[in-house]
Amino acid sequence: MSAMPINTDAIAGCLIGTAVGDALGLPYEGLSAQRAPRLLGPPDRHRFLFGRGMVSDDTEHSVMVVQALAVSRGNPRTFARALAWRMRIWLLGLPAGVGFATARACLKLWLGFPPSKSGVCSAGNGPAMRSAILGVAVDDIELMSELVMASARLTHTDPAASHGALVVALGARLAATRKTVSADEFLGHAQTLVGAGPMLDLLDAVARSIASGEDTRRFADSMGLGSGVSGYVNHTVPVCIHAWLSNQDSFERAVCTIIECGGDADTTAAIVGGIMGARCGPDGIPPAWRDGLFEWPFDHVWLTRLSQGLAAHLAGERTPVTFGYPMLRRLPRNVFFLIVVLYHGFRRLLPPY
């Protein structure tokens, strides 16, 4: 790991982009593409709490992946164990909105199952939402694939979940080169990485859609997702890749595009934000969005320091990398977060419909 080139700017951009996308998409979570703009307006600013943004499990998982990668220095078995312990502790904080498969996997970890056997049969978004950072931070593609698979198996055993996570990591990896990636070029890389199967067929549909000039919203509609993108990885990942490939020159446009598709908006925006952040770095993220992350430690300053700590570890230094805050602070934070989420839920009972 010490010989690999380390792009600290891309790592920081990926982490901050994930958090910004997560926070921007969170108020729109679960809303249809039709109702969201009527209820909240366009996703052009933070709307979660008085013009500020808070993050969900999408960002927290990416942070845990960073820390597990740092302490393991890329050793897959050590990485899996380190990530497993962080996820056990994370569950004790009673996170709001944790996916059912992830919760079951964390409970299995607490019951003594090893990381290789804790996953459950699910094709949800958990592995995909935390894999972009691995595509940016790990230069060796074979090692990147092994780490992505280890992260995926920790919670999800369905091959579709692993393939989706690999595709997201690949997108972030290519985006970090800061070169424009054609849909056909991405398809070729994906074929090498995941092989033939449903995910590759879906990515082929993405390439054909982009070649025809179809926008992301219409592509989602063609997949039967006109009301919103579901939490099924074979729905989420192709639409996210379409939004990225169609808007590579604008972080703002890419993230707004995916949120406007509706559905699982915090996760889809976190994935697109992570890929686009890897391309543009922190400076390419709109300052108002970046500075609107008001909660410590998930603000852009702390995320930048975490990125620097990861880069130092991968370079062979021994800089401490911690989760960021103690358990006693996580519990009240998550209670407060849940209250705000419930407020948004009650608000949705009222017009406009």
Residue 155 pLDDT greater than 90, yes or no: yes
Burial class of 249 by CB neighbour count within 10 A (0 to 12, 13 to 18, 19+): exposed
User: Predicted confidence band at 323 (pLDDT cuts at 50, 70, 90)?
Assistant: low
Distances in Å between the Cα of 88 and the Cα atoms of 109, 131, 152, 218 are 7, 19, 15, 40
**What percentage of the chain carries pLDDT values higher than 70?**
95
**Which pLDDT score is estimated for 325?**
59
Whole-number average pLDDT of the chain: 93
Angle subtended at Cα 85 by Cα 83 and Cα 89, rounded to the nearest 5 degrees: 115
Sign of CA dihedral 175, 181, 184, 188: negative
**Which pLDDT score is estimated for 3?**
41
**Which pLDDT score is estimated for 131?**
98
How is the chain split into domains, by residue range? 8-347
Q: Give the C-alpha separation, 278 to 14, whole Å.
A: 4
Residue 332 pLDDT greater than 80, yes or no: yes
Amino acid present at 184:
D
Higher-confidence position of 136 and 329: 136
CATH architecture of 8-347: Orthogonal Bundle (1.10)
Q: Taking residues 320-346, what's their average pLDDT? A: 81
Task: Identify the residue whose tokens are 């979940």.
Answer: 161
pLDDT, tens only, 73-112: 889 999 999 999 999 999 999 898 888 999 999 999 999 9
**Which pLDDT score is estimated for 321?**
62
Bridge partners (DSSP) of residue 229 are 263
Residue 6 pLDDT greater than 80, yes or no: no
**Which pLDDT score is estimated for 1?**
43
Q: Taking residues 340-350, what's their average pLDDT? A: 94
pLDDT, tens only, 215-250: 999 999 999 999 999 999 999 999 999 999 999 999
DSSP single-letter state for residue 284: G
**Which pLDDT score is estimated for 4?**
45
Sign of CA dihedral 5, 203, 212, 41: negative
pLDDT, tens only, 30-85: 999 999 999 999 999 999 999 999 999 999 999 999 999 998 988 999 999 999 99
Residue 5 pLDDT greater than 80, yes or no: no
**Which pLDDT score is estimated for 81?**
97
* Tokens representing residue 310 in the block: 């990861």
Q: Which residues, other chains included, contact 305 with Cβ-Cβ below 8 Å and sequence gap of 6+?
A: none
Residue 319 pLDDT greater than 80, yes or no: no
Write phi, then psi, for 52 (nearest 5 degrees): -120, 165
Other Cβ atoms less than 10 A from the Cβ of 77: the count is 13
pLDDT, tens only, 10-22: 999 999 999 999 9
